[in-house]
Amino acid sequence: MPTNFWLGSFILSTLLGCGADRGATADPPPVRQVASPPAVPASLTAAEIASLRFMREEEKLAHDVYVALEGQGFVFARIQQAERRHFEIIGSLLERYGVPDPAAGRGPGELQDPALRALYLELVERGKRSQLDAFAVGLEIEELDIADLERAKRGVSRADILRVYDNLQRASRNHLRAFHRNLVALGGRYTPKHLERAAFERIAREPMERGMGMGMGPRGGMGPGPRP
């Protein structure tokens, strides 16, 4: 084979090879997906933290008293289940905002607030005397809850907390009506201790309220709430 033919072929193949290398498009490097950091809820005020911690314990008080008085009528078994859900709803808010839970690791009647702890003992003792006394204890708990929630709302600006507090009040009004109906059926009478008499009687006369739920599901997520 002539030398100049072989040399020309070698140069041509080399040029074609280089052109192919230059024309080839390399696969782009994989794009690293950077996960967005989880949203951090805005800080709560001292008043909002205090109200959440107190309402967590007050819901525990209600639940624990109704468990202790379960033998005094079916209404206690039913309402204690609602109070358990209310207790969990407040717990979800505590978790959402990173607020220490005052009820963590505490058994029935074990309350951090000394006034609530003393009230628990008093209400259980009184409620076990008779069925009428038990219904009166239920009424006292529910009107106390309504009044305390109203006070708590004055120091709260967070919409999610206010929504939960509004629904807790609605549930407490329904519980008050249920206890009042049972007490009246036995011929009993009740004198309000935490609400004005006119406000108490108006709530007791009104029909049961229906709502869309508590506005929060398990572990702080959105979801249907309890039906008291």
Nearest to 85 by CA among 152, 206, 175, 209: 175
The pLDDT score that the predictor gives to residue 42 is 67
3-state secondary structure of 80: helix
- Cα-Cα-Cα-Cα dihedral of 90, 216, 175, 118, to 10°? -10
**Mind listing the pLDDT tens digit for each residue in 189-223?**
999 999 999 999 999 999 999 874 444 333 333 23
Q: How confident is the model at residue 41 (pLDDT cuts 50, 70, 90)?
A: low
Rounded Cα distance, 105 and 112, in Å = 11
Rounded Cα distance, 138 and 66, in Å = 8
Neighbours of 117 (CB within 10 A): 15
Output the CA torsion sign for 85, 90, 95, 99. negative
The pLDDT score that the predictor gives to residue 92 is 97
Neighbours of 90 (CB within 10 A): 28
| Radius of gyration of the chain, Cα coordinates, nearest whole angstrom | 33
**Which helix (DSSP H) or strand (DSSP E) does residue 217 occupy?**
none
The residue with greater pLDDT, 184 or 28, is 184
CA 122 to each of CA 116, 129, 134, 213: distance values in angstroms, whole numbers, following the listed order: 10, 12, 12, 32
The conformational region for residue 113 under phi > 0 = left, psi -120 to 50 = alpha, else beta, is beta
Domains of the chain as residue ranges with CATH: 46-211 (1.20.1260.10)
**Mind listing the pLDDT tens digit for each residue in 64-86?**
999 999 999 999 999 999 999 99
CB-CB contact of 132 with 179 (8 Å)? no
Which residues does 100 contact at the CB level (< 8 Å), separation at least 6?
53, 94
43-58 mean pLDDT:
96
Q: How confident is the model at residue 24 (pLDDT cuts 50, 70, 90)?
A: very low
Rounded Cα distance, 117 and 133, in Å = 19
The pLDDT score that the predictor gives to residue 175 is 98
The two structure tokens encoding residue 14? 């080399």
3-state secondary structure of 99: coil
pTM of the prediction?
0.76
